Amino acid sequence: MSDQFVVLSGDFVTIKITGSASDFTSERRFPKGMTIFELKSKLELVTGCSCSTMTLELYDTEDKLVCTLSNNDAMLGSYPVEDGMRIHANDPASKGAFDFAAAGASADGKPLYTMSDEEYRKKGDTFLQFKKANKLGEFAKVDPEAERKNREAEAEEKALAETFTVGSRCEVSVPGQASRRGEVAFVGQTSFKPGWWIGVRLDEPFGKNDGSVAGKRYFQCPPKYVLCEFELQIIGKFNEAATSKGSDGDGPDCPENSTFLDELRVEICEKHGSVENYLDHLLDSYIQSNYLGPVASEAASDTPGSVNKKCQAYLQSVCSEPVSVKSKHLHCLALGQFIVDSLLLPAFQPMHCLYSARLISLLQDMLEDKAPALHKRLMSIVENGVQLDDPDDDLTSSPEAVAKFERYFEHQLLLAQLCLAYFESRHAIRIVTECQARLGLTASLSGAAGVRTRFQQTSHAQLYLDVAPTDDTLLPTVKFSETDSDAELARLAASNLSPVEQVCLLAASDCHRRSRASDGIIEEELLAYANALLIRPTSWSATAAALLRRSRIELGLLGGSGGSGGASSRRLERALHQLEELSNQLAKPDPEFYPFRRRLFFACSLPPVWRLQLDLADALVAVGAKLDKPALAEKIIRDRLAESETPELYCALAEVTRDWNHLHTAWRLSNGRCARAARSLGYVAMVAGQYAEAMRQFELALAANHLQPKAWFTYGCCCLQAGEIEKAELAFRRSAQLEPDNYEAWTNLGTA
């Protein structure tokens, strides 16, 4: 193996363990960050092999040898180990050590001594006699009162269990986890533990098994769709018409849930033709009002306040994060999410995965931080491997073929963009590579002499994107034997890109950014991608996304870039004007152009209009346009607090007034769920040199939301200062996993 190790994105891996010393097989879960030597130390107790002489072999799920885990200093995650694989421990020194006992013979071949049960009961100094003397186990005295209470408790448990009938909808909660919805699939007693049990078939694969325990099947279910635990709490029969678990109960009463859903499906199909058509209508209304514009006349008035609050509460229960109050027409998004969650579309079928991914994208855009709940939903889609129907490459047959072709790639590239957003770069690069191969699209960065301004006289080396034509024989135009004609041919090839090819290159540029270190050259490379897409715009969304990326690069606002300290005043001015123009698209009254703007929208990762306005505000602050009126900012925040108190407003008030007591208020108001409040308290404690308190606050923040690479890094620094080396190592490793281009995290990880 190479001495350069790759840290994979997953934290833990579940593998089977076998050893040469016995035929026993076990399954264990190990962190990928542990070294091979640490793994051998743990396997010594499992396999009976000696750590000093043990060798490990890795086998895939088909029991084929993958490699030998030979480097004791390497991390387990540096090897291609995945869930379900097997690690075999070989140790010649201990091989066969347990075979003698299994065969009923000692190491020298002599028969082992055995004793009958009758002889054992007659002996005096035994554990059986100890239990008998101390009234333990089967010899314990039976307390009539305790036995009566047990019978009453069992009767109550049985009566409660029988209130749930197989097939009814319910909502369940396990301590320490979010509530889930599903269908009761089993009610009764089991052989693995006493008492009455309720088995729930979940709507999504967030469970533990497939309806069987210890080889005995209680009901049929796909893997990981079942919750059947002692700690399981059935919250109640779930009313599908309610907008959220935390609603105040004034939703309409409905008949039996299955009947209600059937009637809802019929009504939707009668009015809109199909559930898919209705979902498209809802999402288009939301996108038009918040992303692309213009606001439709039928949606001129926003959602009523009471309905808006209920929709906000429902979406917050889905994301487990506070949602933005800037979104218009939340009822469209909430209703779409309800339809998908209610399984009006069959779970984990192509259309269900398509709309689930689109809703994840729209919901994440409403949040300040990455949502672990949405990340889990996304990974269940990606790892499930469900894809849309394979499109026909012949796009001349019909408009339906073109729509199917574009929908397929729009969905695949949306999954790639979401994987990048949730730090799953490995999956994103795989998806984009597959799309490029399917399209026959080849692109690479190259260089040529050129000028950037109209009055520049001397040519300098410039980066450009070399796009190979799909026809490898016929050139897009005649190639003249002049200097840099290759660059001109590349420009012409880029001008012939189809809309799907353009959005594929857009995703490839995002993957390129995530797979490279943050330095000055990465900005020029990304500009080469953006400029290639702007040669001949064929997709409004792709063009807007390319312009946005170019503006962010020139303003130094692109996450992970090195900044734009050397940007010229003309480039800054162009970038500011471009951001302003993009943010003004929502107000332009061009409703007939919406379908053109909507084309391939989900594949382009366009932000909502308020995000663009925030980018513009950040850019203006960066170039010096700052009012410096903290009193006015405080007044605006307090006016908002007078209308409705939220943890986010108290966090903002603390940042404006520098009164950190407001952060404690935000933490209490969120019931320990506001990661921003705990994170800010951690930064305050760190600046004050109170590293133990800073560690505590960062641990609370990361427990509420673990997808925070900068918080992990700062937490690691505090651990180093406090002398907690093991915690610092874990923190820096997690930060490097989320942001592989963070060289400071890698450097500190080496120090730890």
The pLDDT assigned to 698 comes to 93
Question: Where is average pLDDT lowest: 150-164, 218-232, 585-599?
Answer: 218-232
Q: CB of 243 within 8 A of CB of 313?
A: yes
The pLDDT assigned to 235 comes to 44
Asked if the model's pLDDT at residue 389 lies above 60, the reply is yes
Asked if the model's pLDDT at residue 248 lies above 50, the reply is no
User: To which CATH superfamily is domain 151-237 assigned?
Assistant: CAP Gly-rich-like domain (2.30.30.190)
The pLDDT assigned to 256 comes to 45
Any idea of the CA torsion for 123, 124, 125, 130, to the nearest 10 degrees?
110
The pLDDT assigned to 230 comes to 39
Residues 6 or more apart whose Cβ sits within 8 Å of residue 74:
1, 5, 35, 36
The pLDDT assigned to 409 comes to 92
Q: How far is CA 559 from CA 280, 358, 413, 496, in A?
A: 31, 23, 20, 30
Residue 112 burial (CB < 10 Å; 0-12/13-18/19+)? exposed
Percentage above 90 pLDDT, the chain: 12
Question: For all residues of the chain together, what is the average pLDDT?
Answer: 77
Pairing mode of beta strands 180-189, 226-227: unpaired
The pLDDT assigned to 228 comes to 58
Asked if the model's pLDDT at residue 680 lies above 90, the reply is yes
Asked if the model's pLDDT at residue 273 lies above 50, the reply is yes
Q: Mean pLDDT: which of 204-218, 377-391, 628-642, 724-738 is highest?
A: 724-738
What is the CATH architecture assignment of 630-751? Answer: Alpha Horseshoe (1.25)
Q: How far is CA 312 from CA 239, 315, 648, in A?
A: 18, 5, 14
DSSP string for 442-484: EEEEEEEEE-SSTT--S-EEEEEEEEEPSSSSS-SS---SSTT
Of residues 449 and 684, which shows the higher confidence score?
684
170, containing H or E segment = strand 169-173
pLDDT band at residue 591, thresholds of 50, 70 and 90? low
What pLDDT digit, counting tens, does each position of 613-642 carry? 887 877 777 665 566 777 888 888 888 888
What pLDDT digit, counting tens, does each position of 390-442 carry? 777 666 667 788 888 889 999 999 999 999 999 888 899 999 999 988 888 88
DSSP 138: G
Give the CB-side neighbour count of residue 703, counting CA atoms within 13 A. 11
What pLDDT digit, counting tens, does each position of 458-513 carry? 666 677 777 775 554 444 444 444 445 555 555 555 567 888 988 998 998 888 88
Asked if the model's pLDDT at residue 298 lies above 50, the reply is no
Q: CB of 162 within 8 A of CB of 186?
A: no
Question: Where is average pLDDT lowest: 100-104, 214-218, 282-286, 741-745?
Answer: 100-104
The pLDDT assigned to 488 comes to 55
Which whole number is the average pLDDT over 574-592?
A: 74
Asked if the model's pLDDT at residue 354 lies above 80, the reply is yes
The pLDDT assigned to 6 comes to 32
Asked if the model's pLDDT at residue 727 lies above 80, the reply is yes
The pLDDT assigned to 367 comes to 87
The pLDDT assigned to 250 comes to 38
Q: CB of 350 within 8 A of CB of 388?
A: yes
The pLDDT assigned to 679 comes to 93
Q: Mean pLDDT: which of 119-133, 201-215, 297-311, 485-499 is highest?
A: 119-133
Which whole number is the average pLDDT over 208-216?
A: 75
- The structure tokens 């997690």 sit at 734
Residues 6 or more apart whose Cβ sits within 8 Å of residue 296:
285, 288, 289, 591
pLDDT band at residue 567, thresholds of 50, 70 and 90? low
Instruction: Tell me the CATH number of domain 12-101, given options 3.10.129.10, 3.30.450.20, 3.10.620.30, 3.10.20.90.
Output: 3.10.20.90
The pLDDT assigned to 699 comes to 92
Query: Side chain identity at 238, as an amino acid letter?
Result: F
Question: Where is average pLDDT lowest: 90-104, 145-159, 412-426, 662-676?
Answer: 90-104
What pLDDT digit, counting tens, does each position of 1-59 carry? 333 333 333 567 888 999 887 777 888 888 887 888 888 888 887 887 877 788 899 99
pLDDT band at residue 528, thresholds of 50, 70 and 90? confident
Which whole number is the average pLDDT over 535-540?
A: 82
DSSP string for 349-365: SHHHHHHHHHHHHHHHH
The pLDDT assigned to 247 comes to 37
57, containing H or E segment = strand 55-59
What pLDDT digit, counting tens, does each position of 413-427 carry? 999 999 999 988 889
Q: Mean pLDDT: which of 444-458, 569-583, 633-647 is highest?
A: 633-647
Residue spans of the domains in the chain: they are: 12-101, 151-237, 257-384, 445-622, 630-751
Question: Where is average pLDDT lowest: 102-116, 180-194, 217-231?
Answer: 102-116
What's the per-residue H, E or C state across 108-119? CCCECCCCCHHH
Asked if the model's pLDDT at residue 169 lies above 60, the reply is yes
Q: How many Å apart are CA 206 and CA 209, to the nearest integer?
A: 10
Q: What is the pTM of this model?
A: 0.62
